[in-house]
Amino acid sequence: MLVATSQGGIQALSRSYFAKLVPKANANEFFGFYNIFGKFASIMGPLMVGLTAQLTGNSSMGVFSLVILFVIGMVILAFVPEPEKQPQAPEIV
Instruction: Fill in the DSSP letter of residue 70.
Output: H
Question: How many whole angstroms separate alpha carbon 42 and alpha carbon 48?
Answer: 11
Which string of DSSP letters, residue by residue, matches 39-52?
Answer: HHHHHHHHHHHHHH
11-52: per-residue pLDDT in tens?
A: 888 888 888 888 888 888 989 988 898 898 889 889 999 999
Global pTM exceeds 0.85: no
Higher-confidence residue of 77 and 86: namely 77
Q: Are the CB atoms for 52 and 61 separated by under 8 Å? A: yes
78-93: per-residue pLDDT in tens?
A: 887 776 666 666 667 6
Element (H, E) at 7: helix 2-21
